[in-house]
Structures are given as structure tokens and as C-alpha cells.
Amino acid sequence: MASMKYDLPLLDYKTRFSLWQEKTAAEFWLKLESICMSKDLTSKMHIKMKLFSHKLQESGSVLNHISVFKEIVADLVSMDVQFDDEDLGLLLLCSLPSSYAIFRDTIFLSRDELTLAEVYEALQNREKMKCMVRGRSEQRTYNDSNDRDKSQSRGRSKPRGKKFCKYCKKKNHFIEECWKLQNKEKRKYDGKASVVTSADNSDSGDCLVVFAGCVASHDEWILDTACSFHICINRDWFSSYKSVQNGDVVRMGDDNPRGIMGIGSVQIKTHDGMTRTLKDARHIPGMARNLISLSTLDSEGYKYSGSGGVVKVSKGSLVYMIGDMNSANLYVLRGSTLHGSVTAAAVSKDEPKWKVMIERQTEKEVKVLRTDNGGEFCSDAFDDYCRKEGIVRHHTIPYTPQQNGVAEHMNRTIISKARCMLSNARMNKRFWAEAANTACYLINRSPSISLNKKTPIEVWSEQVENTLEPATYTEAVVSRDREKWISAMHEEMQSLEKNGTWELVHLPKQKKPVRIKWIFKRKEALQCASTDEDVEYMSRVLYSSAIDFLMYAMVCSRPDLSHAMSLVSRYMANPGKEHWKAVQWIFRYLRGTADACLKFGRTDKGLVGYVDSDFAADLDKRRSLTGYVFTIGSCAVSWKATLQPIVAQSTTEAEYMAIAEACKESVWLKGLFAKLCGVDSCINLFCDSQSAICLTKDQMFHERTKYIDIKYHYVRDVVAQGKLKVCKISTHDNPADMMTKPVPVAKFELCSSLVGIVV
């Protein structure tokens, strides 16, 4: 058996001495575990105390601190000591020094759940960004010192510490920041780069870089690393604005100057729905795009990093902005701009007047004012005014709008209502102010659950707003619409007098006059329709009225309208433009055949019937259309065109159902004809379907026809009793054909003449 050798250079002397006598690997490991991994209470308490007392010093390394923390946690896990993941994350955050207070608060407030892995990741990212910033600062310090040394060696004629590029021989930037040097290869592309530099008489910035090789979009925000300050091209987007009078300009790469019109704040809505404020933004109308200066954000404590076509701007572990790379290799902000005129948190210059009005109307004083930390609420003048009036200020924690939920919720409600109204009305955004005022008006007059279903204006004024019509003449003449009511009463009296509604006579003795009173009702729009639903309803009523008129003409004397009326009357519940056009075509046909009438002929023909049916011509329900007409003396006396109640499975069934419907009408007409003329003869009913005729005479139930409902076999009994005779007729000679389907003009005129219609 080969001897075992152990190399123990990493163990201390006492441990190596204790393990020296062990012969096998198993004995070696058990001995080592008993020394280093003891699970008694004393060892556990010692490791726990080490965990709780583990703290990071102000100048200590975060990465080393995390490594030691992980080792302690691993030792506890090996000793079967379990900690909740959230508790471990909390312990790690509490071990950080006071300089990490903002970082710790951000972690607490930006998450619903806390995990140890998230804390590890946030600390590591913070340390990486800190190292990057420190590296850039050291590099700039090194370059500044070199420039100062060289300038001093050349003499005192040149300024000290000024940035100078050795490549392009221009000031205000170093060689590593030189656009010409770094972007030589980029100029080979089709798009041209425009370099915006400050004019010599302006100290507003060093260098602005804008890529102009693609189509400009005035609504986008570009995240720019070389831009010295934020730039906005739209004046209406500024929530606060100060005009610039000293003539500051920026000069494009083609030596074309652009003037800075003003400086102010612009609010944008980012990817997470939160509102961010870009402070000290320059208003330059001539620019092609809106720019967000990443260097400005970096100086304010924000960090940015990019990978995979996405750049993220963060502060601590919270991501504030996200930009996506487009086809022009520009990072476009994922978000939108809030219109400056509709910033719900904007403050006017009438605070004293508003305060006096509130206190006078409510007999209560303003004691506490809760706001966020926006610049419009934290100005020195406003703070002095609040202190002078004895108003206590409550400021919310940064990036915690939940602490001012009442105002934030109302702002969101107003903005949402304004957006919906503008979208529904398809109006331009310049009407934001009007839309917001309308939204406030509607909110103040709408019941609220938080106010026990009362309206805000009712709670404010302690009076119920009267929205009803006046009940008496006195109420009408004192209401705010009194001029309209008086005008309406004058028009009503003039109409009554013009139409001679009454005569003035002396009141007879012992008689009392009938009392009358004015009825005041508000009527608006078309036929009293005050809403879109009412207008739509009245448009249906107009269609229904037209159908009723045509139906009356068809029933009385125009069997040639049967098929057309059967079609247009199906859509009375929801008519469309096509249906109304069809009705207009029917009116046009009536106007051209206004002299058409029914004429009885001098023939000895008695009661004769014609029946026909189509097959599943109704595309909506796939039902067939039944049409029949009965004549006396070659003149129509009864006709009908209607959809069958069920879906027919074959043409034979459809024709058979039509014959059954005509059979019931023939029995009634036969009795009426016999009572009037004293003649009780068999009625001939003509049909162009031979299979349906055979089915009326055959009393057997066949496999292909036994599914037909029993009620339609009534025709067999009538035929068997000799009251009705179903005969075959050619389709070309069947006048009922025009009642079930569209036919050519010649066929239509023939069918009309067969039923006695003459023009």
C-alpha cells in the first residue's frame, strides 16, 4: 500500500501538528472538521457575533467586505445555522457606513422584496461606477497638471489650466476628447455629423455633438455623452422658463450660429411612468433634436452604462432613464415629454390671493402644506412666505410620491381625463390647458365615493347645485338661463296666436276657467337628442319611419315591392349607410312608377295562387325566402314575402315549406270567397318545383324527407280533401318569382303584369 503524503502549507502550526498523526484521508478530514467546523453552541455564537459585528469602514474596500461577509455566511450554513435571505440582505446593508445612507434608503424604497443577491449586485455595480468616475477624474487631473507645467515652461503669456487639443489645435477639449480624431472613420458613412461648438463670446458650454445623418424627429430625446447641457427645441415643453438676454449662441460645424433663447426646466415621463425633471435646459429652436447631456447627469451623481444597444442612467441601484440605440447609432430615450402648460404641479404668482380666498370662503386657515422637493415648491421666496404666514411645510422623501398620494392621484386623474378628451376629439396638444380646465370642471361636478357620493362643489359650497328645469314661472325668470326661458315663452305665444289655437271670449257665468301652466324642458340637438346615443337612436327612428311608409304602400297596392321590403326591413335595429341607400333606391322607383295600380281583368278565373321560394339566400341566418301571391280575375288580392322560420336543408324542403305557408292562406281565402260569391271550388296553387309537388301528394315518409316538421304536412290533408290542387308551372311564367329573388327588368315587368299591376 502506497504511503499518503499531505501538503499543508496553508494551515497554521497547531493545526498541522494535530493532523500529523492521521494515517488515512478519512481520518484526516474528520480530524480537520472537528477542529475547524465544530457545531457546538460556543462555535455558533462566535460566528454569529462575528457576523453581527462585521462593519465596513469609510475607506474600506466594498469587494473585500462582501467576500468576508460571504465567508461568514458560508461558515454558518456549514454549521446548520439558517438565516432568511431578506435578513442577510438587511444585515449587509446595516454593515455599511453612514456615507451609504442614500444608497441604503434607495434599496429599501425601490423594492417590494429584498434578497441578498440583489444587495450583492447593487454594491458591486456601485463600486464599478465609482472606480470609473475616479479613473476619469484622475485622468483629467493628470492632463491638467501636464498642461499647466508645459504652459509655465513656455511663459506666462498663455492661460493656465485651459483645455487644448494638440490634434485640431482648438481649445476647450483634450486630444482624447477630440471629435475629429475619434470620428475619422465615422465620416465615411453617408450621414454627416454636425459639431455644435460654443461661440467665442459665450461661456455656456464646451462642445455639443449632434448626428444629422438621418431624418430629424422633434419629439425624441437623444442621450448624448458629449453634450455640455440639456437642449430642448420646443418652448411649450418648459415647465419653468427664463429668457436669455445676453445673446449666447452655439455655432454649428458649418459655422452656422444658433441662439440660446432661454433656460428652464423640462419634465419628461420615463419608461417606468415616473416624471423626471431636466434642470437648466437650454432652449435652442434651430436644433434638429432634443438632447439630454449625460455629462450633466454625471455631475449630479447619476451613473450611466451601456451594453447590447441599451444605455441606462442610474443612481445607486435605481434606473432612472433608458435609451435604445436606433439605426443611426443614437441612444433614444424610452419615454415622452410632458407638455409644460399642463404640468399639474405648476405654481402661479397668485398664492397670496388664493390663500386669502380659501380662508375667507371656508373660515379656516391653511396650517400645513405638503409638497415634494420640486424647485417650484422650494424657492427661497416661497419658503419665506410660508414662514411669514405660519404655514408648516412637509416635504416628502425624494422619489417617494406615495407620501403625497392625494395630490399625485388627483394630478394623474386630471391628466388622464385631459388626454382622453383630446384623443376622442382628435384635437392638437396645444389645447391641453382647455382640456385640463374641462377635466377639473367635470371632476368638481361628479359624485365621489370618498365624499359619500357627493360632488366636490357641493361639499365646498355646502349647497346642492340645481341642474333641474324650473318648476314654475317664477323659478324660470330668476334662474341663470332666464333670458333663454323668456325668449322661448315669447316664441311659444307667437306660435299659438299665429295658428289660431284659441279665441278670446267672455267667461260664462258660474263657470270656472281651466288652469294652465308653463312646462319648462330643455331640448337640445336633433329631435331632443342630447347625447351621441340619442342621436344614433333618432337616426334609427328616421330609418324605421321610412320603412313604415314603404310597408304601407307595399301592403295596400304594390306587390312588386315585396322582395325589396323583405330585405331592407331586416336591419331596422341597426341600419347602416348601405341600407339607407337601398331605401332611397326604393323611393326613387316609387317616384318613377307613381301611377302604377292594380287592375282587375274581365276573366272568369277564380281564386288562383302562385308560390315560390329561394334557397338560403339570406347570408346572415342562411334561411330561405317564401313568396306567394293570390289573384282573382288576374289581379292580386293577397301576397306575402317573408323569411322561413327555420333553415331548410334542401331546395325541396324550402319549396315544400313555402307551399305549406301558401296553403294556410288559400284555406282562409277559399272560405272568404265562398261566403262572398257562393262558390266553393278547388283552388289551384302553382309551383315550379316538381319534387315539392310530389311530396304534397305522397303520404309516405321517405328517408330524405322524414326530418321535415309535422306542421308542414298539413298541406297533405288539404290536398287529400280536395280543397287545394298543387300544379306545376314554368319558372318563367311564375309571377311569385319576383317576390323571392332579384330578376331582370323584362322578367320583372312580366311578373308585374301577371298580377294585375299596370302603369
Residue 252's pLDDT is 58
pLDDT tens for residues 299-339?
888 888 888 788 888 887 678 888 888 877 788 888 777 65
259 lies in the same domain as 239: yes
- Judge whether 24 lies within some domain: yes
The residues pairing with 417 across neighbouring beta strands, listed in sequence order, are none
- Judge whether 56 lies within some domain: yes
CA distances from 127 to 60, 107, 163 (A): 12, 15, 29
- Judge whether 733 lies within some domain: yes
Residue 614 CB coordination number (10 Å): 22
pLDDT tens for residues 172-212?
666 656 655 554 434 433 333 333 333 333 333 333 333 33
- Judge whether 18 lies within some domain: yes
More confident residue, 259 or 533: 259
Return the C-alpha cell found at 247. 445673446
Give pTM, 2 decimals. Answer: 0.34
Q: Are 417 and 442 in contact (CB under 8 A)?
A: yes
CA distances from 649 to 230, 646, 652, 693, 716 (A): 75, 9, 8, 17, 20
Residues 713, 717, 720, 724, CA torsion sign? negative
- Rounded Cα distance between 205 and 104, Å, is 35
544 lies in the same domain as 686: no
Q: Are 317 and 305 in contact (CB under 8 A)?
A: no
Residue 611's pLDDT is 92
Domain end position, chosen among 461, 486, 510: 461
Q: Using 50, 70 and 90 to split pLDDT, how confident is the model at 13?
A: low
588 lies in the same domain as 600: no
Residue 629's pLDDT is 92
256 lies in the same domain as 327: yes
210 lies in the same domain as 89: no
Work out whether strand 275-283 and strand 231-232 pair parallel, antiparallel, or are unpaired: parallel
230-239, 346-355, 649-658: the lowest-pLDDT one: 346-355
Q: Whole-number mean pLDDT of the chain?
A: 76
Residue 403's pLDDT is 86
- Of the candidates 640, 643, 582, the one whose C-alpha atom is nearest the C-alpha of residue 614 is 643
- Of the candidates 561, 704, 715, the one whose C-alpha atom is nearest the C-alpha of residue 636 is 561
Domain end position, chosen among 69, 102, 128: 128
User: How many structural domains comprise the chain?
Assistant: 6
7-16, 412-421, 469-478, 622-631: the lowest-pLDDT one: 7-16
- Judge whether 688 lies within some domain: yes
Domain end position, chosen among 592, 624, 640: 592
- Rounded Cα distance between 311 and 324, Å, is 7
Phi-psi region of 11 (alpha: psi -120 to 50; beta: other; left: phi over 0): beta
Highest mean pLDDT among 356-360, 436-440, 523-527, 605-609: 436-440
CATH label of the domain that carries residue 415: 3.30.420.10
Phi-psi region of 480 (alpha: psi -120 to 50; beta: other; left: phi over 0): alpha
Highest mean pLDDT among 164-168, 345-349, 442-446: 442-446
**How far does Cα 610 stand from its chain's mean position?**
59
- Judge whether 93 lies within some domain: yes
Backbone angles phi, psi at 248, to 5 degrees: -65, 140
547 lies in the same domain as 623: no
pLDDT of 743 above 70 = yes
- Of the candidates 684, 688, 669, the one whose C-alpha atom is nearest the C-alpha of residue 722 is 684
pLDDT tens for residues 653-708?
888 889 888 888 888 888 888 888 777 788 889 998 888 888 887 766 566 666 67
182 lies in the same domain as 213: yes
- Rounded Cα distance between 396 and 402, Å, is 9
More confident residue, 699 or 721: 721
630 lies in the same domain as 743: yes
Q: Using 50, 70 and 90 to split pLDDT, how confident is the model at 578?
A: confident
pLDDT of 220 above 50 = yes
Average pLDDT of the residues in 76-84: 78
Backbone angles phi, psi at 422, to 5 degrees: -65, -40
- Judge whether 411 lies within some domain: yes
Task: Provide the residue range defining the domain that includes 123.
Answer: 37-128
Residue 95's pLDDT is 85
pLDDT of 348 above 70 = no
432 lies in the same domain as 538: no
- Judge whether 452 lies within some domain: yes
pLDDT tens for residues 522-547?
765 444 444 565 555 555 667 888 88
More confident residue, 273 or 390: 390
76 lies in the same domain as 213: no
Average pLDDT of the residues in 440-466: 84
432 lies in the same domain as 536: no
pLDDT tens for residues 34-58?
666 666 677 778 778 888 888 888 7
387 lies in the same domain as 328: no
